[in-house]
Structure 1
Amino acid sequence: MGDLPVGAVGEVEEIDVHVATVNVDVQEKVKRYAGPVLIGEVAESAGVTSQTIRFYEHEGLLPPPGRRGNGYRVYDRTTLNRLAFIRSAQSAGLTLAEIRSIIDVRDAGEVPCGHVTAVLQAKLDAVAARMRELEILASELDHLLERGRALDPGDCTDTDICHILSEAP
């Protein structure tokens, strides 16, 4: 989860069981910074790349940073806290769109707890549905394996690619 933004469409995410530890580390590092910090320091503290921070800004997950006279981005503690929140939400399996919706509620001045609960319930419902789909798929694969054990490869005709996966006679 470190170098690339997570949650892109079509991407398979891996769950990192150590993310909670990473978030604690981020919170500890946040305490070190009293004033504005540069993008590299923020990236290092949050365990992401500068590119990821720019991506989050572009996607509306982070507010536009302040700028120094030389044009360098400068960030404050709020950005570090928001990055820690994003990483925590990702570890719960939320997509960037779901995270943005929570941030939007918060940025509108509302407490997002009800919205977060609804998002998490929807995520849990989707996981349960996917688990049911996978159980059906596992059953079908078991059936095909049993069929494959019962069929003789010598019976496969030139018109068949593989009679295990062909329609049953």
Structure 2
Amino acid sequence: MSRYDHARALELSSRAFADSLSEREQDWLNQHLESCSDCKAQHEQLHAAIIALKTVSISAGNDLVQGTQRRIRALCLQTAARQRRMRPIWISSAFASVWMACTTPYVWQSFDVTGHWLHIPDLLWQMAFLVTWFTPALTGAAVAVWLRPQLTGTASGQMARASA
């Protein structure tokens, strides 16, 4: 038998206890375990370990459960508050994007006519157009950055404690 057969038997043996083997795989595993004493011993040890783990009862203390629930509620409230605070930003960003898309030809035309009427160099009025055109988006981005949750200090500490 090859190393591949033993590795496959170990992998199938692990999956067998989770009842995720097909009938063909189960037949192959049974045949291999009958002919290989090492794999059969590993299979029996794995079976004994799983039975031993199933008998262990793990319970959390009341303080631990209440503390975890309190932290989860606090994180949920913070997330909800953050979402409420960001909703107007998303609405204004969508409005600014639609406004920019709809008014681009008109604003371009007005800058073009005004630039030629006042004999302003093309590069100058085109740059003024870009500044005017990007101002709503840049303002929205600045507000979003200003209101974003801070990932330093208490927020990251709470997330580290919650995941530990």
- Higher relative helix content: 2
TM-score w.r.t. the length of structure 1 is 0.31
- Higher relative strand content: 1
Larger Rg: 2
